[in-house]
Amino acid sequence: MTNTSAKSTSILHDNFGRDHAYLRISLIERCNLRCSYCMPAEGVKLSPKSHLMTGDEIYNIAKTFVKHGVTKIRLTGGEPLIRKDIPVILEKLASLDVTLSITSNAVIIDKHIAVLKANNVNKINISLDSLEREKFKKITLRDQFKKVYTNILLLVKENFEVKVNVVLMKDFNDNEIINFIKLTKNLPISIRFIEFMPFDGNKWDKNKMVSYKEIMDYVHDAFNNNEIIRLTDAKNDTTKNYKIEGYQGSFGIISSVTNPFCDSCNRLRLTANGKIKNCLFSATESDLLTTLREGNSIEPVVEKAVKAKFKIRGGMDTLEKLQEPKLHNKNRSMITIGG
């Protein structure tokens, strides 16, 4: 969909010429899994329920962003589908002139097929970091692999556009890279390998990260060069996309650490407690919810936040800065950002 109202004078236009047409909204800070790279082992301090956005507040904030040029909204969590009013939220947001999508761990997504279809939510991102039951249990602290895998097959059967997000960690699941790619032989899905990124409490270590180059080394070892097809990436895509000749699906790499895509970034994030983050790596936030509840316009707050966006990774423009704990520890844990 195209929103013709977006201009270079938009409040969503930053100082580096980037127009932000993509809003990721976290609906909830809780999750029914406990992935270590997302949530610290000791858990996180959750916002009181009264501090979280209501369905109406989510809609009203989203409507303002759409007015100024947002054409795509993705719902995230925690796990967004455990929010009890998710059907109402989907219905409200579906009334806006946007493409609506969702990210889920797929544990309970089978119960929401009808409501997703009813609101034209056709694009589903599923988080799955291992194809081995015991390894899945180790990373998530829950024995739900069979349910998740079955639900991925169900989504494909129901004609959803499915992407599977895999956070790679060295000596843990990097030996599954080719097995994940082979899933795309008979399934029309996209596997997306994500470099392990630093967030508060996830004990990030550069040595645990599997880089874009290392991933492609695995690919070239497993397949002939003429079988590996480089696909054309969509505008503002975060992923370098490939497919294997003759396979139904594709795979890609999100290299936020070793090869950031900041020049073409068009994303903003809204946390479940109503704070705007202008970058996934940003240590600063701007409070939209309080402004809204006070009866004031959120537009000046949004504009100021967008104009304050750094050129690269929240100001961490080198790998050395990214490895400095005092810089990324000021950021939230991933579960309270929403990805």
Query: How do residues 150-179 score in pLDDT, each as one tens digit?
Result: 999 999 999 999 999 999 989 999 999 999
75 with 101: CB under 8 angstroms? yes
**Residue 38's domain is classified under what CATH number?**
3.20.20.70
Band of pLDDT at residue 2, cut at 50, 70 and 90: very low
- Rounded Cα distance between 211 and 154, Å, is 31
102 within domain boundaries: yes
301 within domain boundaries: yes
53 within domain boundaries: yes
Greatest mean pLDDT among 167-181, 279-293, 315-329 lies in: 167-181
25 DSSP β-pair partners: 75, 270
Averaged pLDDT for residues 197-217: 74
88 within domain boundaries: yes
Computed over every residue of the chain, the mean pLDDT equals: 87
96 within domain boundaries: yes
313 within domain boundaries: yes
Strand ranges in the chain using DSSP code E only, listed in sequence order = 22-26, 72-76, 99-104, 123-127, 161-168, 190-195, 228-230, 240-244, 250-254, 267-270, 275-277, 286-287
pTM of the model: 0.87
Distance of CA 130 to the CA centre of its chain: 18
- In this prediction, residue 174 carries a pLDDT of 95
Q: Domains in the chain: how many in total?
A: 1
38 within domain boundaries: yes
Angle at 195 (CA atoms; ends 194, 201), nearest 5 degrees? 110
Question: Given a cut of 50, is residue 202 above it in pLDDT?
Answer: no
pLDDT in tens, 74-104: 999 889 999 999 999 999 999 999 999 999 9
70 within domain boundaries: yes
175 with 135: CB under 8 angstroms? no
Give the residue with greater pLDDT, 235 vs 160.
160
- Rounded Cα distance between 290 and 52, Å, is 10
Question: Given a cut of 60, is residue 312 above it in pLDDT?
Answer: yes
| Domain that includes residue 271, residue range | 22-162+263-336
- In this prediction, residue 314 carries a pLDDT of 64
Give the residue among 133, 128, 129, 73 at the shortest CA–CA distance from 101. Answer: 73
pLDDT in tens, 242-280: 999 999 999 999 987 777 668 888 999 999 999 999 988
